[in-house]
């Protein structure tokens, strides 16, 4: 099992959209995927049509310190493959731990705990998750705080979308380094900073967009080797906006 968090110090860059699309793609490839909406604004939770919806989500899991079935809802998704023969023999699944943390009580609860940074990590190391999932994908919040840090501590790999425009790439470079420095400075035993893969996101077919993407690749090489930029890029496309067709239903609403 691998745990991946989609993180960025900038808001609105595409974390949730990337997380949702990655989840569906991996499940469509036959993997058992668990999404975790670790943002107080429950955008990822509202992305999908929910099959079996549970009463409790993120807050329950964090308080319990154990990710069991009672916090996990199932997502209804249709295969992206057109013909039956293209579909993998193994059927994947897509489940989600929905965010129910909008009133600030979760952050307050976490802030008062000595294990606040590793609480989500511990919960996701439950036997239930280990036995039932291949990939855990965490959508984190853009704002700095205990939830963002906990998502980083829980992960084996970080993915960070970065838009190819000058201001966001500058802001991103500084913000990302600050966030990684901040997390690394915490005196936690047995913690190694997960590698971070940046993905150039919302590229456009223009000279400017291509030139800035090139500058991003070069500048990231100087970031003490902590961040690498993936060769794959994600285009700016209305289909990503349109992919958000559902609002969640079920007990959490």
Sole binder of Mg ion in the list 3, 8, 16, 173 (CB under 5 A): 16
Positive or negative torsion for Cα 132, 133, 138, 139? negative
**Nearer to Mg ion by C-beta: 66 or 151?**
151
Smallest separation (angstroms) from ligand ATP to the CB of 17: 3
**Nearer to ligand ATP by C-beta: 43 or 74?**
43
* Binding-site partner at residue 241 among ligand ATP, Mg ion, none, CB < 5 to 8 Å by type: ligand ATP
Smallest separation (angstroms) from ligand ATP to the CB of 12: 4
Smallest separation (angstroms) from Mg ion to the CB of 30: 27
Smallest separation (angstroms) from Mg ion to the CB of 210: 26
Our finding on whether 43 is near Mg ion (CB under 5 A) is yes
If we measure between CA atoms, which residue out of 68, 61, 56, 39 comes closest to residue 133? 68
CA distances from 143 to 7, 38, 177, 207, 251 (A): 10, 12, 15, 32, 27
Residue nearest to Mg ion (CB): 16
Q: Report the C-alpha gap between 120 and 64 in whole angstroms.
A: 10
Our finding on whether 21 is near Mg ion (CB under 5 A) is no
Interacting residues with ligand ATP (CB under 6 A): 11-17, 39, 43, 142, 202, 234, 236-237, 240-241
* Binding-site partner at residue 13 among Mg ion, ligand ATP, none, CB < 5 to 8 Å by type: ligand ATP
**Nearer to ligand ATP by C-beta: 7 or 123?**
7
The tally of CA atoms less than 13 A away on the side-chain side of residue 17 is: 20
Q: Report the C-alpha gap between 73 and 94 in whole angstroms.
A: 9
* Binding-site partner at residue 14 among Mg ion, ligand ATP, none, CB < 5 to 8 Å by type: ligand ATP
Q: Report the C-alpha gap between 140 and 5 in whole angstroms.
A: 7
Our finding on whether 45 is near Mg ion (CB under 5 A) is no
**Nearer to Mg ion by C-beta: 92 or 154?**
154
Burial 173-199 (b: 16+ CB within 10 A, else e): bebbeebbeebeeeeeeeeeebebebb
E strand or H helix that includes residue 157? strand 157-162
Radius of gyration, alpha carbons of the chain: 18
Q: How many residues bind Mg ion (CB under 5 A)?
A: 3
Q: Which residues bind Mg ion (CB under 5 A)?
A: 15-16, 43
């Amino acid at each position: 099992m691998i745990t991946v968090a989609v993180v960025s110090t900038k808001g609105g860059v595409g974390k949730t959209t990337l997380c949702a699309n990655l989840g569906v793609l991996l499940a469509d490839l036959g993997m058992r995927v668990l999404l975790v909406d670790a943002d107080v604004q429950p955008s990822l939770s509202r992305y999908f049509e929910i099959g079996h919806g549970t009463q409790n989500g993120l807050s329950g899991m964090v308080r319990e310190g154990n990710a069991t079935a009672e916090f996990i809802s199932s997502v209804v998704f249709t295969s992206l493959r057109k013909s039956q023969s293209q579909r993998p023999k193994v059927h994947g699944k897509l489940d989600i731990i929905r965010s129910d943390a909008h009133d600030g009580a979760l952050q307050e609860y976490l802030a008062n705990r000595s294990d606040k940074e590793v609480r989500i990590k511990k919960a996701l190391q439950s036997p239930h998750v280990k036995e039932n999932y291949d990939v855990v994908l965490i959508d984190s919040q853009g704002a700095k705080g205990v939830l963002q840090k906990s998502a980083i501590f829980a992960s084996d790999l970080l993915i960070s979308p970065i838009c190819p425009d000058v201001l966001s790439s500058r802001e991103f470079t500084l913000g990302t380094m600050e966030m990684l420095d901040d997390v690394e400075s915490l005196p936690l035993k047995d913690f190694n900073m997960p590698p971070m893969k940046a993905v150039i996101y919302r590229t456009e077919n223009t000279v400017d967009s291509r030139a800035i993407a090139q500058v991003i690749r070069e500048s990231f090489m100087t970031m003490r080797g902590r961040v690498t930029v993936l060769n794959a890029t994600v285009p700016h496309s209305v289909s990503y906006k349109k992919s958000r067709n559902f609002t969640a239903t079920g007990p959490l609403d």
